[in-house]
């Protein structure tokens, strides 16, 4: 039990360390990523107003019909492509990438690469 508490505290510290440097503005909103074992979620947030501008996940019907499983790189790429097109429709061209406490590899990297391919800059 004690080890789990230490892991949780370390994870929260890593998340705060990353988040301390990133703030979403109306000109450059923040892309927040959440990754679970079964799904991946991404949303673009304007922190100055506290609003979510665009969101996509493997739970969305648009993405769910394309992927077999929500917990792999292919699903992350699909979420990134959908989020990128939705963001461009709203007029968002630049974002700040908030990876939380996740390492930049695997599903997080696949999501970021798909968003870049869609035309967003970060």
Rounded percentage of the chain residues whose pLDDT exceeds 90: 75
Task: Measure Cα distances from 90 to 32, 55, 58, 84, 100 in Å.
Answer: 17, 12, 20, 10, 24
Q: How many C-beta atoms surround the C-beta of residue 39 within 10 A?
A: 19
CA distance 25 to 49: 8
pLDDT tens string 46-101 = 999 999 999 999 999 989 999 999 999 999 999 999 999 999 999 999 999 999 98
**Closest by alpha carbon to 95, among 13, 22, 28, 41?**
28
Query: Which residue segments constitute the domains of the chain, with CATH numbers given?
Result: 2-118 (3.30.420.100)
């Amino acid at each position: 039990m004690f080890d789990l508490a230490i892991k949780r505290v370390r994870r929260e510290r890593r998340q705060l360390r990353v988040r301390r440097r990133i703030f979403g503005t109306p000109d450059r909103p923040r892309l927040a990523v959440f990754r679970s074992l079964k799904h991946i979620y991404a949303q673009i947030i304007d922190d100055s107003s506290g609003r979510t501008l665009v969101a996509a996940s493997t739970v969305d019907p648009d993405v769910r019909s394309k992927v077999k499983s929500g917990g792999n790189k292919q699903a992350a790429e699909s979420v990134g492509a959908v989020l990128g097109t939705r963001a461009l429709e709203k007029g968002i061209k630049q974002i700040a990438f908030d990876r939380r406490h996740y390492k930049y590899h695997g599903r997080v990297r696949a999501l970021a690469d798909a968003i870049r391919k869609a035309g967003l800059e970060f």
